[in-house]
């Protein structure tokens, strides 16, 4: 067991942020040949590669293919303090033949789940930079300035945010109303559950060339994810800092929490977060928790605490 753990750990630690691979048979656009490309195309993509190689933020990993320069796969780790925290989100991209006159095409590996108003269950990525969304002018694709790096960073910064509900056009004005805030919290609940489901999908069928990252990431973050699940089930807000688990100590994350605050954390009996969270949230979370626990165990995450609890509970139930 420990030998296996070391192997996982090593591969994870040495997992390069940017690398070239031979081939992408399971890529969303693998069967969609780019067609005839111009001379400038290759040069421009190599330029994009360079930018990615030298500037990727720590939470984004990219693989490109020498044989299919039009293809690229990226994964981003969901930012802390958001319903996406610790999740892995995979994107398959293709540079069209007339790149960079046209922006790259992106497909989000959704597993059929809507993760965000800008990330459809169909895999569509709505972003003005990609021309799939009518945005402010300066956010549109401009071949003189826009790059793949910028696309990926924009998704992480603009899409995977703290309150994705307000990404929906028209909904941003709801933010000043209590109703809007409540819907936003509900959206976050659903989103976190979908993020957990996405984790399960990635664990069970990791996208090619990212197997080691998936294994290593969940081995390292598994315990924190489970602790967060528990914490949210106790009625706390999705995305808030879990006491004792927050490695960055960002207490500040708990701002304008109108519902449950960090003071009533301890978990006396299970109160439904200020009475408004639906019972189904907890029921669904319990199922997801069990499934995640199992998968994380397989990957060797430190889940002893939760396993022990589970054991105790089943003994209690049996008694």
Per CB under 8 A, the list member of 20, 53, 124, 297 interacting with another protein is 124
Per CB under 8 A, the list member of 3, 31, 58, 137 interacting with another protein is 137
H runs (alpha helix) in the chain: 2-13, 39-55, 148-154, 178-204, 211-233, 279-299, 304-318
122 touches another protein by CB under 8 A? yes
Per CB under 8 A, the list member of 46, 54, 67, 98 interacting with another protein is 98
- Shorter beta-carbon distance to another protein: residue 11 or 282: 282
- Closest Cα to residue 224, out of 204, 257, 196? 196
Residue 3 CA to residue 133 CA, distance in Å, equals 49
> Closest separation between CB of residue 33 and another protein, Å?
13
272 touches another protein by CB under 8 A? no
Task: Specify the stretch interacting with another protein by CB under 8 A; choose among 101-109, 153-161, 213-221, 298-306.
Answer: 101-109
Active site residue 126: yes
State the burial class of residue 106 (Cβ atoms within 10 Å of its Cβ: 0-12, 13-18, 19+).
Answer: buried
Omega cis (within 30) before 100: yes
> Closest separation between CB of residue 15 and another protein, Å?
26
Per CB under 8 A, the list member of 43, 50, 304, 305 interacting with another protein is 43
Per CB under 8 A, the list member of 33, 101, 250, 294 interacting with another protein is 101
Residue 178: what are its φ and ψ, rounded to 5°?
-60, -35
- Closest Cα to residue 99, out of 61, 125, 135, 72? 72
> Cβ of 35: how many Cβ atoms within 10 Å?
9
Residue 117 CA to residue 126 CA, distance in Å, equals 8
165 touches another protein by CB under 8 A? yes
Dihedral over alpha carbons 225, 230, 234, 238 (to 10 degrees): 10
> Closest separation between CB of residue 186 and another protein, Å?
5
Per CB under 8 A, the list member of 6, 13, 33, 38 interacting with another protein is 38
Task: Specify the stretch interacting with another protein by CB under 8 A; choose among 29-37, 69-77, 261-269, 306-314.
Answer: 29-37
Per CB under 8 A, the list member of 3, 35, 244, 268 interacting with another protein is 35
Count of residues that interact with another protein, criterion CB under 8 A: 61
Task: Specify the stretch interacting with another protein by CB under 8 A; choose among 36-44, 57-65, 221-229, 249-257.
Answer: 36-44
- Closest Cα to residue 217, out of 230, 229, 206? 206
Residue 187 CA to residue 189 CA, distance in Å, equals 5
Determine which one of 126, 138, 229, 307 is catalytic: 126
174 touches another protein by CB under 8 A? yes
């Amino acid at each position: 067991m420990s030998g296996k753990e070391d192997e996982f750990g090593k591969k994870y630690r040495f997992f390069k942020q940017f690398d070239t691979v031979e081939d992408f048979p399971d890529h969303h656009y693998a069967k969609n040949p780019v067609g005839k490309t111009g001379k400038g195309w290759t040069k421009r993509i190599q330029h994009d590669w360079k930018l990615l190689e030298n500037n990727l933020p720590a939470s984004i990993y990219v693989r490109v293919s020498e044989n299919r320069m039009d293809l690229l796969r990226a994964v981003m780790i969901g930012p802390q303090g958001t319903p996406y925290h610790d999740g892995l989100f995979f994107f398959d991209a293709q540079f069209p033949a007339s790149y960079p006159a046209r922006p790259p095409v992106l497909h989000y590996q959704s597993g059929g789940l809507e993760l965000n108003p800008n990330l459809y269950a169909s895999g569509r990525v709505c972003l003005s930079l990609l021309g799939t969304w009518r945005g402010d002018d300066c956010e549109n694709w401009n071949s003189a300035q826009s790059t793949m790096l910028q696309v990926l960073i924009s998704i992480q910064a603009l899409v995977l945010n703290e309150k994705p509900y307000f990404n929906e056009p028209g909904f941003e004005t709801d933010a000043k109303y209590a109703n809007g805030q409540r819907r936003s919290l509900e959206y976050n609940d659903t989103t976190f559950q979908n993020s957990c489901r996405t984790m399960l999908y990635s664990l069970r069928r990791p996208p090619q060339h990212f197997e080691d990252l998936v294994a290593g990431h969940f081995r390292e973050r598994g315990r924190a994810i489970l602790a967060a699940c528990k914490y949210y089930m106790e009625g706390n807000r999705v995305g808030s800092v879990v006491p004792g688990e927050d490695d960055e100590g960002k207490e500040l994350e708990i701002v304008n929490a109108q519902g449950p605050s960090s003071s009533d954390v301890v978990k006396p009996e299970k109160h439904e977060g200020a009475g408004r969270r639906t019972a189904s949230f907890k029921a669904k979370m319990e199922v997801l928790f069990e499934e995640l626990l199992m998968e994380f165990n397989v990957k060797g995450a430190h889940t002893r605490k939760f396993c022990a609890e589970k054991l105790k509970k089943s003994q209690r139930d049996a008694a």
